[in-house]
Amino acid sequence: MNRIIFHIDVNSAFLSWEAVERLKNGESTDLRKIPSAIGGDPQKRHGIILAASTSAKKYGVKTGESLYHAFKKCPPLLIAKPNHKLYYEYSQAMIHFLTNYSPLLEVYSVDECFLDVTNTPGSNNPYALALEIKNAIYNKLGFTVNIGISDKKILAKMASDFEKPNKVHTLYTNEIKSKMWPLPIRNLFMVGKSTEDKLKRIGIYTIGDLANSNLLAVKNMLKKQGETIYRYSNGMDSSQVEPNNYEDIKGIGNSTTIAYDIDNKFEAYRILLSLTENVSMRLRIKKYKCRLICVEIKNSDFKKYTHQNKLLSQTDCTDTIYNIAKKLFDESWMGEPIRYLGIRLSDLTNDPMVQISMFDDTKEDKKNKLDHVLDGLKIHYGQDIITRASLLDYNK
C-alpha cells in the first residue's frame, strides 16, 4: 500500500511566530502585514535578515542579506531581534499538536516536519485532511503553514515549496512529469547555486532535463550527489518517516541551514557560538551534562561530514562546549562554502557527582555559575536581555 505523507512547512516561521506573540501581548500591528524582518540590531544596522514579510520581499529584501543592504532597499523596514527560545516553544507546540493526528512524525528542522497519515482517520481524502490540519494550526496556534502531500517524502517536501503562503499542494508519483519536471533545476532539493551552475554547463536547465539526462555523465561530474539528485528528479525515494523529537534523551542538538554560503571561519564561529548558547542552556535546564560533543557541517553542495570529541569529564559549561566545538570545526572544515552547521551534545548524565580532571580549567566553576545566572536572566526577561559581544560583530 502506498504511504500518505505530509510535509508541513511554517510560512516565514520566525517572523510569523514573532508576530503572533506580539499580537497576544497586546500589540495592534501585525508584522506579517507590513515591511518587516527578523534579524540583527536595527540601531546599529548590523546582522543579517533571517526572515522577511511578504511586503518586505516586494522591496527586494532577501533572507541572508545584511541589514545594511536591506534598509537601503526598504527604508521603512521594521526589524525585530530574533528570540530563538520563543521560536523553539512555538515549534514544539506545533509538533505536539500534530502528534494528535499521527505518532509517525519526523522533525526535519525547527519549522518543518514530515507526518505519515496513512492510518489516520480521514486519510482516504488526504487533501481534505491536510486542509483540516492547516486550518487547525492557524486557529489554535495563530500562524500559517504550507502542506505538501505525496506518497514519497522527497515529493511531499517539493510540493510544500509550491505557491505560498497558507496553501496545500499535492505531488504524487504520477504527477511528477506535469508538476515537477517543468520547474527550474534550482528548485530541486539539494541543488545549490554551485550545482546549478555545473548542471547548466551541460545543458540541464529544468528538473525534467535532469530526469531524462545521462546518469553516468551526471555522476562523473557530481559524484554521489549526482546520483542522489538524479533519483530525486525521478521521484525515487524509499525513505520512511522516522519518528523523532528535539528532546530525545540520548542527546540534545541545535542546527541551522544558512540562507547564504559562509566562506570564512570567523562567521562560522559566530553561528557556532549562537547554536552552542542555545543547546547548552537547554542542557542545563534539563539538569544534564554531556560527555560527547559533535559538530556537523554541510557544504554548499550538501555534502555532510561530522567530527566529535569524547570528554574526559562531563560538562554543561557554554565556554567549554564552544571551545571544543571550534576545535572540532577547525579540524574538519575543508575550506569550502558552508550551508549548514549543527552541534549535538550526547552521552548525557544527570549524576551530580562530576568527575574532575586534573587538566580542567580552574575557572570552570565560576563560568558555570555565570552560565546559570545568564540562564535565569534570559528565562525571565527574554533571550536578548544579554548578548555576547562576538555575536554583535557582523560586518555590513
Residues involved in catalysis: 112
Residue 240 to residue 2: CA distance in whole angstroms: 11
Cβ(322)–Cβ(366) under 8 Å? no
Q: Angle at the Cα of 75 (from 69 to 80), degrees rounded to 5? A: 80
Task: Please give the full DSSP string across 173-227, using - where no structure is assigned.
Answer: GGGIIIIITTSBGGGSTT--HHHHHHHHHTT--BHHHHHTS-HHHHHHHHHHHHH
For the chain, strand residue ranges (E) read: 5-10, 36-38, 51-52, 78-80, 105-109, 112-116, 145-150, 168-170, 251-262, 289-299, 304-315, 338-349
Cβ(61)–Cβ(12) under 8 Å? no
The phi, psi pair for 395, rounded to 5°, reads -80, 155
- Amino acid identity, position 135: N
Cell numbers for 30:
501585525
Instruction: Map grid coordinates 507546540 to a residue.
Output: 93
Cell numbers for 221:
561530474
Cβ(326)–Cβ(273) under 8 Å? no
> Cα torsion for 292, 293, 298, 303, to the nearest 10°?
-30
DSSP state of 48: B
The total of other beta-carbon atoms located within 10 Å of residue 182's CB is 11
- Whether omega before 165 lies within 30 degrees of 0, making that bond cis, reads yes
Residue 141 to residue 193: CA distance in whole angstroms: 35
Cβ(38)–Cβ(15) under 8 Å? yes
Q: Angle at the Cα of 121 (from 115 to 127), degrees rounded to 5? A: 65
Cell numbers for 299:
557544504
